[in-house]
Chain A
């Protein structure tokens, strides 16, 4: 009996403990359920950013763009739409040594705002003279700029007027720190811009019933087909939303993160939440997008139709040559000389394109070709005087018709003393659709070309007979 007592106490304790634990569990269960019913905690839903002073911005909130004039911002106690102060921005002139444009973000110094209850950022603004503000918006925070929205080329007048930046999809904005952003250059012709000032007042988030009819756009609302290759990544661009503000459409540029992206055939191309397309295999895939979810989902106008031709066929790898035996203009095989550009966009030239990266391969892609040149006249002299040949690889991206030609012209010492010569590549070997053809042309074939001690321009000329070509491995050698 004596031994039983402690045991029974122990048992009681155990019972109590088990009961207690069960009680706690059941309570936790209850509490959980209750918590699940509760709305999630939200960040500040405050609306105001600036009334007569900054509201809830903290002390360290002004971050100018790196190349902008930094000290353009002040609070002006002499100008206001309402109350007694406004934000003042002094846009510098073109020759201001501290920077020739004004641009900055206002980022909350601390936790951000929950903007789900709003549909616009609004403010009153005026300028010292009528002026166009290049960019004005919010969401840029220099911490990823995930949800950026801004309007471009907004005209300010000398009178206070109200402006709104529609929010593309407020439901995404659970915590926003970058609450204001602007970029503006001076007024006048490029290089001669004069400075001016503009003022912003009553800067706040609002929910306006006058803002309606959202129409998301991707690829600027255009349906576009793009030929591509496996391994290529490319971004969906031109993302924005049209909103009708009291009868008039306003376009706001919106980060891809506001959108839901979809690929019609993910085995051909995938697209991630940032709108980055990855081409995987040959075939077609239409990349489309929407904003919102459930009942509020709205399809975007515009799309990208990816047409993958399969693996990218590289140009033949050039032979190993001693550095003194080659002067390379464009090749991954050799050290290239400095060039100005691969497409100078000359007057009367229709040619688009230039150097691009296709799945890790550097090539030159020209489209709408009539003539185009690789330019070196502003770069250090390209001396190929010791070389005997020029090499170039050409891949024609279209059907070749009788009469199609592609000329190569070299101009040395561009200007009054220049010499030049031209050959027609097709007289050496025929071009082949979607295949690389290598040309090795003796420089002596370029009739009229003198010394090649200062090669300034290398022209590709088709007069429109051939529109789309890839070019690779342009080099002089001996």
Chain B
């Protein structure tokens, strides 16, 4: 091979490589939406602290019919069930203990009336609990829920999973005509890890006519008004608030088995909102 050919083939190889790279970038690059951080809770408190009351309030008790899902836990605001761990995480702990007529306690916090958002990137870095009957979630509800009720207010589930499927996270939207069992969902499965053994970042990027679902910056689902059942209403163009909780049992996940280990913890490293 003479040197001209050599140089030529180098160039050829480099061009192929370049084309391949361009190709990859073309298919995988996400739109840069120019977001900047507008609010976050990094949970950098002292061990045993409750979550910051300027950001979070509690849902207490069992709701109606176990928060509409036949969930088994009693939500409390006790630091046994929810506290800062002193290592930069919020801990939500589901405990098997008799309490107010229930056999499990846990916690559910919301930013309702405190931090409500319309559009942006909503993300949290979370390590989930595991085992049959555990149902952790990071999600949003329409801020007008007290006026119009559910599902008219709308619900966006950024992360929920079944403890018996610790490698599969589900992202969904609920609204009028597409709620509960008819919610519109996508799922993301880890093939080389589990959501309960390390932290993962769960996010949506949300605009007037789209919701993109991410796990660790991998886009796995995009929902738009075209994905709704014919004639149903897109209810995601208003303010929503955030929720974090660990439910035990319920329609979505089934009851814990005698083998399910307790207590179970969800660790939340941070919640961040970009717009």
Contact = CB atoms under 8 A, between A and B. Distances in A.
Given A209-B192, A210-B194, A213-B197, A244 B167 contact: no
Contacts of A242: 261
Contacts of A212: 130, 166, 194, 196-197
B197 A247 contact: no
A266 to B, nearest CB: 32
Prevailing SS type, chain A contact patch: strand
A312 B193 CA distance: 55
Nearest to A242: B261
A210 B163 CA distance: 13
A235 B132 CA distance: 34
Contacts of A249: 131, 259-261
Contacts of B162: 247
A433 to B, nearest CB: 37
A246 interface: yes
A181 interface: no
Contacts of B185: none
A428 interface: no
Nearest to B134: A247
A215 B190 CA distance: 23
A248 interface: yes
A206 to B, nearest CB: 13
A13 B94 CA distance: 82
Prevailing SS type, chain B contact patch: loop
Contacts of B132: 247-248
Interface string A246-263: 111100000000000000
Nearest to A244: B130
Interface in B116-171: 130-132, 162-167
A244 B190 CA distance: 16
Given A213-B130, A215-B261, A242-B261, A248 B164 contact: yes
A215 B263 CA distance: 13
Interface in A227-247: 242, 244, 246-247
Nearest to B191: A209
A244 B162 CA distance: 14
A246 B131 contact: no
A211 B243 CA distance: 30
Interface string A146-157: 000000000000
Interface in B171-230: 190-194, 196-197
Interface in A264-292: none
Given A212-B166, A249-B259, A249-B261, A244 B131 contact: yes
A246 B192 contact: no
B82 to A, nearest CB: 22
A47 B259 CA distance: 30
B254 to A, nearest CB: 11
Given A242-B261, A248-B259, A249-B259, A210 B167 contact: yes
A209 B191 CA distance: 8
A212 B129 CA distance: 12
Contacts of B190: 209
A242 B262 CA distance: 13
A246 B196 contact: no
Given A210-B167, A212-B166, A215-B261, A247 B192 contact: no
A247 B131 contact: yes
Interface string B244-275: 00000000000000011100000000000000
Interface string A204-229: 00000110110100000000000000
A242 B130 CA distance: 13
Contacts of A244: 130-131, 166, 196, 261
A242 B162 CA distance: 20
Contacts of A248: 132, 164, 259
A166 to B, nearest CB: 14
Contacts of B193: 209
B258 to A, nearest CB: 10
A12 B164 CA distance: 80
A283 B93 CA distance: 37
Nearest to A211: B194
B182 to A, nearest CB: 25
A247 B166 CA distance: 6
A213 B265 CA distance: 12
A249 B264 CA distance: 14
Nearest to A250: B259
Contacts of B167: 210, 246
B244 to A, nearest CB: 22
B150 to A, nearest CB: 29
Nearest to B163: A247
A246 B167 CA distance: 8
B165 A247 contact: yes
A244 B166 CA distance: 10
A209 B197 CA distance: 10
A242 B259 CA distance: 10
A246 B260 CA distance: 13
A249 B196 CA distance: 14
A81 to B, nearest CB: 21
Contacts of B191: 209
B11 to A, nearest CB: 42
Contacts of B192: 209
A347 B272 CA distance: 66
Contacts of A247: 130-132, 162-166
A247 B130 CA distance: 7
Interface in A382-438: none
Nearest to B129: A213
Nearest to A213: B130
B191 to A, nearest CB: 8
A212 B260 CA distance: 14
B194 A209 contact: yes
Nearest to B162: A247
A169 to B, nearest CB: 17
Contacts of A210: 167, 194
Contacts of A246: 165-167
Contacts of B196: 212-213, 244
A210 B167 CA distance: 8
A212 B164 CA distance: 12
For the complex of A and B, the 4 pairs showing the least CB-CB separation, nearest first, are A247-B164, A249-B259, A212-B197, A209-B192
Given A246-B166, A248-B259, A249-B261, 4 more contacts: A212-B166, A213-B130, A247-B162, A247-B163
Interface of A: 209-210, 212-213, 215, 242, 244, 246-249
20 contacts: A209-B190, A209-B191, A210-B167, A210-B194, A212-B194, A212-B196, A213-B130, A213-B197, A213-B261, A244-B131, A244-B166, A244-B196, A246-B165, A246-B166, A247-B130, A247-B165, A247-B166, A248-B132, A248-B164, A249-B261
Interface of B: 130-132, 162-167, 190-194, 196-197, 259-261
